[in-house]
Structure formats: C-alpha cells, structure tokens
Amino acid sequence: MTSVARFQGFGLGLRPPHYQEFLAQSVPVDFVEVISENFMVAGGRPLTILDAVRERYPVAMHGVSMSIGSADGLRDDYLIRLKKLADRLRPLWVSDHLCWTGVEGFNSHDLLPLPYTEEALELVCANVRHAQDVLERPLVLENPSSYLVFADDEMSEWSFLAETCQRTGCYLLLDVNNIYVSGTNHGFDPTAYLAGVPADRVRQIHLAGHSAGRGLLIDTHDQPVPDPVWSLYEAAARKIGPVATMIERDDNIPPLTELLDELDIARARSLALKGAA
C-alpha cells in the first residue's frame, strides 16, 4: 500500500452553487474537496463537471457513507464503486469519518458515534484494513462531532484515532471545528486532543462553523468559522505544520468570494505562524 504524501495548500469544498465559477475562471485555491457519494453515479452532468474540475484543480475525495465502525463490516459494493471513482479521479487522498452510519442493512445516513472501547478499536482497524485493501490506497479518517459519549468508554477519541493510525497505517483528517464542538459538548480540553493525535499522520484540516442547540453545539457547517475555532486552528497548525487546509461549508452556502475571503484568513494565520517560527 502506498503512502499519502503531504500536500501544502488551501482549498474549498466543491458545492453545486459554485460549479460554474470553478469551471469558468481560475479560482485561487490549491485544491478542492468533493463529496464522493455525489459523484458515485452512473453518468450525466455530475461526472462531466467533476472531470472538468479535475483537469483544473487537484481533488481530495471525502466520503460520508463508508461506515467504518459498522459492527457487521463494510459493504463491498460501496467500496468497489468508491475505488472506481478514485481510479478515475486520482485524488490527493480518500477520506471518511470515524463513525458508523448503519448496521444490518439499515443506513441512517448520519454520522453516528462509536464507543471508544478495545472491541470497537479492533473492529474499526479490521474495517480500515479491508477498505485499504479494496481501495489499494491508505484511508484518511476524520474525527466526527458527537453529541453523546458512552458510559463504558475505555479511551479518549484522540487515543482511539492514534491507535487506529498505528495499527493500520491510515492517516488523519483533523476537523478543528469538530474537536471544538465535541470538546464543548463533552467537557474535554481541545488542546489535550491536539496533543494526543499523531501530527505526522495528519494530511488535512477542516475548518467550519457550528450552531448552538439546546445544551449542545451542533456541527451544522452553515456558519463562518468562529473565533474559538480559528484559535484552535492556530494551535493545530503550530503542532502539525503546513498541511492541506480547507473551509467546509455544506449549508447556507454564501457566494464563492465570501468563502475565498475566509480561506485568506486561514492563509494569513498560517503565514503568521510561519513568520513567528
């Protein structure tokens, strides 16, 4: 299995309202990230657009349906279609979330939380190895936002991720907003999280916004990146070093120029850290 090279740059999630701008002009991004499942289709306009985008920009593939934590294993029909898309796109990497979405045929299409136990760790590692075998490339796993923790957790989320990387050779997509959201919801220190993840395995950072729910923060991806997340990003960038960084907006999508302005903030903060070093 090949390794995943570090890619230093700043990117955006490719979303339908911005397709034409990405194709009509040279948008100042170093890469774009696409939702894999949106393009795991038979044909038509989605794949035509994606091929044209791929000619202009490096692409990272980001999935939501692998369900790496499903206790009854992964769906090979899904993995085979994902590999077909990856072979077509030759992406920077293929990522998905540390979660489960369904079991025994049921699919919630939501990123459901895993207990952080040795049993779950062994299962996730077996699933990661299987996915990597089918995909013939390493997997990049993203930390999710979560709204509950299990009573018999045996380790922290960051220990779970670090151990998964160690045992399987996979990499990490660190969502700084998700760390902040889960830290607030569950009362852990986000800086302890950053200290606990293996910096050398991180290949991408997600930046996003969230909303306040009833007693919990909700990872809505419909807001600009808030100040506490920017502060945490600086701490993450200081620890990890230059790594692909992206603004992730999935709802309430603003004009592209607004997202590019937000991406410039990430560039400036990263540059300031480099200068200070």
Partner 1 sequence: MNLIQRQRLLRDHLLSHPAAAASEIRGDASAGLAVYHHAYRAQLIDCLRDTFEKLALWLGDELFETTALAYVEANPPRSWTLADYGADFAAALTKIHPDDPEVAELAWLDWVLRRAFDGADAAPVSADALSEVDWDAAVFTFVPTLSLNLMRTNCAALWSAMAEDVMPPPAALLSASGTIRVWRSGLSPQFKTISSLEARALQLAMAEYSFGEICAIAIDEANDSNAVNAAGQLLSVWLSDGIIQGVR
Comparing CB distances to partner 1, the nearer of 92 and 121 is 121
Q: How far is the CB of 222 from partner 1 (least distance, A)?
A: 12
127 Cβ partners below 8 Å, 6+ apart?
68, 69, 70, 73, 74
Comparing CB distances to partner 1, the nearer of 19 and 230 is 19
Q: How far is the CB of 169 from partner 1 (least distance, A)?
A: 23
Q: How far is the CB of 275 from partner 1 (least distance, A)?
A: 41
Residue 34 C-beta-side C-alpha neighbours within 13 Å: 27
CB atoms within 10 A of CB 258: 13
Comparing CB distances to partner 1, the nearer of 36 and 204 is 36
Which three-class secondary structure state does DSSP give residue 6?
coil
Q: How far is the CB of 213 from partner 1 (least distance, A)?
A: 6
Q: How far is the CB of 235 from partner 1 (least distance, A)?
A: 26
Comparing CB distances to partner 1, the nearer of 10 and 100 is 100
Cα–Cα distances (Å) from 119 to 101, 126, 159, 167, 170, in that order, read 18, 11, 14, 14, 19
- Binding residues vs partner 1 (CB under 8 A): 37, 40-48, 65, 70-72, 75, 77-78, 100, 102-110, 112, 115, 117, 119-120, 123, 146-153, 185, 213-216, 218
Comparing CB distances to partner 1, the nearer of 43 and 275 is 43
19 Cβ partners below 8 Å, 6+ apart?
49, 53
Backbone angles phi and psi of 275, in degrees to 5: -65, -40
CB atoms within 10 A of CB 67: 26
